[in-house]
Structure formats: structure tokens, C-alpha cells
Chain A
């Protein structure tokens, strides 16, 4: 399976990465090389095999559903590119 340029643009849109027209062809070649390489997994018979999602050989722990931290507004906002009072500021979303 080979990606066409429309698909490359669609993936970029989903990934929220702006891609210039001049980059699409290069990306298409590189992504197809990677997908071509992983294609060999088609040879492997995985009938009856459960997917392994994690590296931990253990069940995930539960914890009490309680607040464990908070009251650190200034620390959280300290790295904000833009803020208004106690809020993160972003460009206008609704006209």
C-alpha cells in the first residue's frame, strides 16, 4: 500500500502539522519507505495471539479517586506563551 499526496496532506491535517506544498513529495517518499519496511509483518501468523500493549509485566494499580495536588496556579501558568489573569490565552476561536 502506497500513500498518495492527498493522504499525506490528510495525515498532516490530523497531526496538526502545517506542511508546505514543496514538502509533500519528500514526506510521501519517506513515509512510504517506512510503511514499505513494516509491511513484512504481514508474513507473521498471529492467529489466537493477544495484543501486548505495554512493557510492564503487571496489572495496573488503582488508586483512590481523590485530589492529590493543586493550588499551584502560578507554577502552572509560569510557562504559558500567553496568559490573561489566571487563564491561558489563545487566538479567538469563535467569531
Chain B
């Protein structure tokens, strides 16, 4: 088996058994990054020297018998996590010179566990996008190709660099963040597993804020087990995040072999949207057949406010973003463009530093929060958000988990769906409702499209019941037997 075909779990066992060293592992992955990144652009900043130093420390720790399952494992860190001493851009030109003096809680926990950071992964600017084309550092290319075509496809977004890095075997796993689908949709587009945990499960401290009531960190990896291993290390209460959950973190790997016997799995009628790609619907039917065969009971449910998820999201998220991004004013950190006076400096700095999508969202957010429109837009959206939460609460009185497709299509081409912002927003139609309700949701690779591209199924669970999400996801993974690999990858 090639060093690039390992999973985190297998690599950890090989490290523990001294069959391989972290330095060997990291040297190989540093090489894969150097070889493939010029083409795929999955990393904004690479840190090969730091990675090697961390690998040496990891080997010493393994030798001392003090290893965790992540000690010595090379990971990609989404460039939205502040990393002390390592440039952190959020894929925005406005943060091009920014070197954080402090570490985000999640990246710090991974560091404490002994994980190795290969570099900072590309993303949509400030995590605003579904294709990674809004990055100020160029788009990411999806390592997958349509059969018989060399057309460049998007990896999804916003965690598109993380997704491409893991799919192309440039990293064993990655961190992502998910505000409306930014872990799950790119995972689906690149044949990976990825989980957005319950809101509050992972600390937001040191994650550059987009929409604070929705932002949540989570792992992306080659399989469900690796996601559980990563989430074990990433999750946990943090005083420095006011919305961090004061709850014990279970060992998520213990849920993987629970099976689904006796579980009730909900199939929401409203996700069967008119015009949805028949391949996606067929895969969904297959998924519920797999779960039924594994002993689950399939239950038809209704989430009546589903269609309002996207419009609520596109009011709430820009409103929070317009407020969060007010801090980028060219005074305390980041890029500055001089002006004739202070206001002129602010306006020139923000005009030059933000890309088109970020400007649009700041302006929409400014408008919906402005005097005279607040009630009609923002307050109304918050009330409908409550109805969406109620839909899930009522559904989870009847079922233990919900199964849906992750995205309405497979990965699309660079340059497609760019006609207007709303067309791009529709990518998130299946992922946004769980974000608004704050419930955990995972995408699992479940099959290939007729064009040979990966498709994902989404498992949604109750608040803080990631364990059931892992159990159902592991059962789907087992039944799907997804083994396809992308064309562009380290071998």
C-alpha cells in the first residue's frame, strides 16, 4: 500500500508500531504538496519546515509512549483558523499581511494532540462561497475529472482547499468550517467524509468570523472513522467562546460500530425538490434502501419550512457578516490603502481589500440591518429561522436521524453557475436548514454520477447527538463501499 493511500487510523497504528515515522510520513506529504499544489492551488501558504519540525517532535513523543491517535499525522488547516506566527488570510487580500499573534482553540487542540500542519488551505474569501472561486488567491481545482474530459471543476466551498488537499492525497485530513454547508458540500464534491458538528461543539475562538450564529468548525477526511478521530481532538468547551457548549465530549469512534438496527431514519418530503437531478434522487433512494437493509426503519417526515432556509440564510448570514467584517478598516491590522482623510482611507481600504462577493454580502447585510428595513428583513428572517428549528425539533420527536442528499448536483465546472449570485446560492439548499437549526450533519461519499464524479448523502442528527450521526454515516459508508479515486492525486 502506498503511503498516500493510508487513512489517519491506519497511519496512527503504523506510527505506534514504529513501522513508519512521522518524519517519513510528513516528508512524503510535503513532497505531494510541492508537486500538486502549483496545479490545484489547495494551499494559500505551505509550511513544510514547520511540518518537519513538528514531525520530529511527534516521533520523539511516540518514542516516549505519549502519543495520541493524531500525533505525527499531517493535516491541512483551513486558512480561516488563526495560527500563531503563521500568516492567516481568510483568502482575503485585506488580510494578506496578517500574522496572528495567537492560536485558535481548534488548531491549538490539534497541535496539543501532536498533529502536524502542512499549510493553510485555500477557501472562498471569508468562507463566503460554494465553489472556492471567490478566493483572493485564485480558485482551487477539484482533483476529480468528468470521465473523458479534462475540464477543470470546482471543489465546492467554502472549504474547497481542505477538500482538494485531502482528496488529492496531499494531506491525511483537514479542518473545515461550515456556515451553510462549507464542510459538507465540498466533501460531497470531492468524495470525502465531513461533519459539521452541533453549533457550540467546537470553539469558535480564533476562527475568523463570518456569521457567528452559524459558524462551526469540523473535520474533513477520507472516511467516517478519521472524522471521528479528528473531531475527538477538535471538540470541547472553551471559556473564550461565549457560545461554546459546556458538555462532555464522548469518544466519537465508539459510535462507529453501533449499527442502525432499530433506528428510525426520517426522509423529508420537502427535499424532493422539483427539477432535482434524477441521479441524486436515485442515490438517495439507494441510501435509504441500504439503511433499511441494515435494520433501520424508514419514516416519511415533513420539514415544512425547508424552502425558506436559503432566503433566511441570505439575510441572517450577510447581516452578521456586515457587522463582523466592520473590523477590517486598515487601522489595527491587515492591508491599508491611504486616503485624504480617515473615512476615505476606510473606504479605499475596504474597496481594494474585499472581493466582489464579500462586498455584495456586506452591502446586503448593511441594508437589511438599516433603519426602516430591520423588521421587514432581519427580524422576519429570525422568526422564520425559529420555525425551521421547530421543524427539526418536531421531526426528531419521531426519528433518530434524517437522510438527505448533500448537494443538488455533482461538482460543476469553473465558470459555470456564475451568471448571478442566486444561482450559486442554490448549491446550499440541502445543507443550510441544518445550519440554521444548529444540528449536526455529515456528508458521506455514496456513489458516482454518470460522469464519474462523487456524490454525497447527508445524515442530520439531534443537537449534540453526533454519535448517532456517526453510527448512521458509518453504516452508509459500509454499504456504499465507495473506493473511487480522483484522477489528480499523489501516488
Contacts and interface: CB of A to CB of B under 8 A. Distances in A.
A50 interface: yes
A91 to B, nearest CB: 5
Interface in A42-95: 42, 44, 46, 49-58, 60-61, 63, 72, 75-76, 78-82, 88, 90-93
A34 interface: yes
Contacts of A50: 383, 386
A91 B370 contact: no
Interface in B196-223: 199-200, 213-214, 216
Contacts of B147: none
A68 B307 CA distance: 45
A30 B379 contact: no
A93 B344 CA distance: 11
Nearest to B211: A55
Contacts of A40: 307-308, 311
Given A11-B366, A90-B331, A41 B420 contact: no
Given A15-B362, A18-B350, A51-B383, A30 B420 contact: yes
Interface residues of A, number: 51
B315 A72 contact: no
Contact of B363 (A11, A60, A72): A11
A51 to B, nearest CB: 3
Contacts of A63: 239
A79 B97 contact: yes
Interface residues of B, number: 75
Interface string B294-318: 0000000000010110111011000
Contacts of B97: 79, 81
B200 to A, nearest CB: 5
State the main secondary structure of chain A at its contact with B. loop
A15 B314 contact: no
B33 interface: no
Given A55-B214, A78-B101, A34 B422 contact: yes
A74 B134 CA distance: 33
B422 A33 contact: yes
**Residue among A49, A53, A91 facing the most chain B CB atoms (10 A cut-off):** A91
A14 B366 contact: yes
Contact of A44 (B308, B331, B341, B351): B308
Interface string B274-312: 000000000000000000000000000000010110111
A47 B329 CA distance: 40
Given A41-B308, A41-B312, A46-B384, A30 B360 contact: yes
B385 interface: yes
B377 A17 contact: no
Contact of B438 (A19, A57, A88, A93): A57
A35 B377 CA distance: 9
Contacts of B314: 34, 37-38
Contact of A56 (B243, B330, B385): B243
Contacts of B242: 60-61
A93 B366 contact: no
Contact of A88 (B213, B332, B383, B463): B332
B485 to A, nearest CB: 35
A11 B362 CA distance: 9
A7 B366 CA distance: 12
Contact of B351 (A19, A60, A80): A19
Contacts of B381: 38, 41
A53 B242 CA distance: 14
Contacts of B315: 38, 41
A11 B331 contact: no
B342 A93 contact: yes
Interface string B329-351: 11111111011111111111011
> Shortest 5 CB-CB distances between A and B: which pairs?
A55-B199, A51-B382, A55-B438, A79-B333, A81-B336
16 contacts: A12-B363, A17-B363, A27-B363, A34-B364, A34-B421, A41-B315, A42-B380, A44-B305, A46-B383, A51-B382, A52-B382, A56-B199, A57-B199, A60-B242, A81-B333, A88-B331
Given A17-B351, A55-B436, 14 more contacts: A15-B362, A31-B364, A35-B367, A51-B382, A52-B385, A55-B435, A60-B242, A61-B246, A76-B332, A79-B97, A79-B332, A79-B334, A88-B331, A90-B345
